Chains A and B, each alone.
Chain A
């Protein structure tokens, strides 16, 4: 059952309320990431900062179709919006970036390399494509336990589809008919490499047929279209339709990380209508449809700003990791750690 469902441009049936929910997460994501970028440029954050600017609609739409406590969601580096929509606290982001000892990774890992596996959010590693098979394993575990109606979803950029891990995992998921949704944000650049140097097929959805999975294509700057396509894909996966490959077209509106000015992205490319800012587009949609007012938008922005300021302030007051109190234990079997505590 292989199908390519071109959704982009199709009439959408998304309610004002649902659209507004998505917009709020997008706005909050943009606000927290702008703040994190500012802190980075002010020298308050060590390591890298990786933003999802321009990808918020595509990211949030997937997460809004999932259920925390039931489903698995493995976000990647540009999924601040999706993370929060799936239930990750803003504080988890600020704590991870600011190196709080109270953050989900306790300073042992940072920035976007965070998760809460027990809550169905595996913590990504940097090696692209690696999380797909991990999600498959979590779905395997749930299938073993007889849990049904569960979906596992994960996100990747178009560059990540060039890995062997992507191929192996998608093929395995298809063989096992797992309820997997893989969201590919084709943001046109993998770090600096344009998509033309990444793959030669016309569209990444062409690959769906090769794997025996259902392919979907969507305008990743259109929140309503994204919600529609992910609702369809998630429902198909949940109802036994096997893996779903959803490709969203958009443009990364920032560098690979904040250390990167993305000067390799031509001005003309940025100016093209299809490369618009999804947040701006969503704002216009809401105003044009009378779903909000400029004043109400201002209130939403102020609320988002307050939330972010609070999360940053809390993270900055947190204790930092103390190397003298660190256990330095890489095994849970402490008695097997060389030079460590012996078995009682």
Chain B
């Protein structure tokens, strides 16, 4: 047996379903006990776009290429970015092949792993990368030995080794051991492998229906995602009157089998004299052509389901297979800015600072490569700076930058909102690029970012006991204080303001202005009378306070 395009396509879809069914588990494998676990959602959203692949998209080379492109554009979060690079590497390795045996599969794993490693500047062991590399090593070993002619066996072997590698991740990453978890991204990758294997064994993983999965992500309700979720665009129905040669019940088994590969939701009635067929497919023509071999078409009905769906939603039609329709703004100025952020007040602040395009996202809601590409395209400037404002969005932003060709795109390494704001304050619209780069990067380094959120479970981190519901005060992403009351937490954090002159406090959606003004007093006290302390209603979720200190 070999893996051809159709089988590979089924494997990818099965993997996407498997992820979808497990995303909540993966989300909860967050090292920090903070309410922003998003690896599961990121990986799921990255992979679910693959469900738009149609089952008969040609050779393995073609399917892998299409699949990789879809995943690349849908990539969200670092885990999603790494995943997309893995599939990209696989696709490159499969280029030109109709099908793959063990040797080709092993090569593809190696290439995928290599491509993923290349993109990460400081690869950390004990993460998804380790699992990928282990898979590549074991695949090579298996293909050269026991599984040289058994691609299914090889895949199963790779899957087992991946699970073993995953179980070892706590030994490689001390922080995982401390919180007694395996790496979430690695776990997701193992889920993907298992999903692919299941399909290879003819038992592909089906998606659980939405009501079985209670934590359906909010953004999946966006209209465009929903239309993309319709994998097969045409509801095709026909009744065939069997010609004399084909009379008899069950005479059309091979037709049934052929059609079933062209779509889903099939209803097939193979009667004595007629065949009645209902199927959702992307190829109504092929269905009808094949039907003609058994007799004449009595009735035919074909409906475009995406159109219907779009009409219901009141949006224009766009099918997933088309290139997304893009609006490209013509450059009107030298510099433009795309910033990722959450919260109305923070958005307004960025707009006030001259940001052209805001991409909604941040903790728990990472934008995709395509979201960032769209933002850049809409920005009417020759040079577009992208401010990810989150370390988990940086990679995807860089990926977007490599895809965009007609504009110069520079991704700034802003890990949080305060850094993003400082970078915007440092820009001089009349200065040369290198001057601006230097001053923006210096500004990013000069700002101290405080954030406060609450723990979502009991844990011990760096020998500090943290109880569910306690407030965690973080300085530049590291836990600094753990308190039962938010007020105490801010009091302690205010020590960070000593000697500073410019402090901005963004209070979140769950905080009142009154409380924020009290907190501002703590900071004023530490910073001294001449310091400016601004209090802004940031409106961000999950984080009662974000504070920028300069």
User: A and B bound?
Assistant: no
Partner-B contacts on A (CB < 8 A):
none
Interface residues in chain B, defined as those with a beta carbon under 8 Å from any beta carbon in chain A: none
